[in-house]
Amino acid sequence: MLVRDLIKKETILLTTVALALLVLSSFPRAQANPGPMTIQVYPNTVEVAPSNLFSIFELEIRMIDAHDVAGVQFRVEWNSTILNCTSITRPTGHFMDPNGTEDVEGNLWVIYTRKGTGYAEYAVTYYDTAAAQSRGTVPRTGNGTLARLTMNATALGVTEIHFILSETIIGDVSGTSLETVMDDGRVTVIPELNLTMLALLLPMMAFVALATRKFLRKKD
């Protein structure tokens, strides 16, 4: 009789535990809060030789690890005496409409993509966000290119290509600004250190060293 009671109590206990686990598993699990996404200039670093002054090269503005995106605005600036932008375009398959669906539907709202002296700026969203959601375009996630900048260097020097904080905004469907890291770029136009330049520099360096030595001797 005692053994039977023990077995009965264990059976009830196991059943209770199983039911409790079943109830707990039915509750929705809290999702991990996604980290900040990144908007970046790609490539981050470009070196241009003087022989390539005024030659065309391209930079891209990219989204990395994006989530919940329904609209993007950015402005980048640089030293206009060193660098010039000849065009800003949205490439085929761009981040905001990779399949071209919203453009075909007339729902891609290109507020502006423009460039000027020392800057380029972009603002793109959707006229009807709900329609874009129903077609699976929104929210935008993952990685992709927003815009392509065609550039050329016009003088020796170094310039940052930096995002303007107040004019770089990534928003969700409700218009809330999302946390975003801004990854700037840099373009360096450097002189080529060739044999001719070395031949000119070495005598100058030797002269400076000799003059310094004579000056120190006189001082002693």
Q: Quote the CA–CA distance of 48 and 52 in Å, as a whole number.
A: 6
> In the predicted model, is pLDDT for residue 70 greater than 80?
yes
Q: Which amino acid would we find at residue 62?
A: R
Residues with Cβ < 8 Å from 19, sequence gap 6 or more?
Answer: none
> Which residues lie across from 71 on neighbouring strands?
171
> In the predicted model, is pLDDT for residue 143 greater than 50?
yes
Task: Give percent of the chain with pLDDT exceeding 90.
Answer: 68
Q: Determine the pLDDT at residue 191.
A: 75
198: pLDDT confidence band, cut at 50, 70 and 90? very low
> In the predicted model, is pLDDT for residue 175 greater than 50?
yes
Which domains does the chain carry?
37-189 (2.60.40.680)
Give tens-digit pLDDT for 40-58.
999 999 999 988 999 999 9
If one compares 3 and 118, the residue with the highest pLDDT of the two is: 118
Q: Quote the CA–CA distance of 85 and 61 in Å, as a whole number.
A: 13
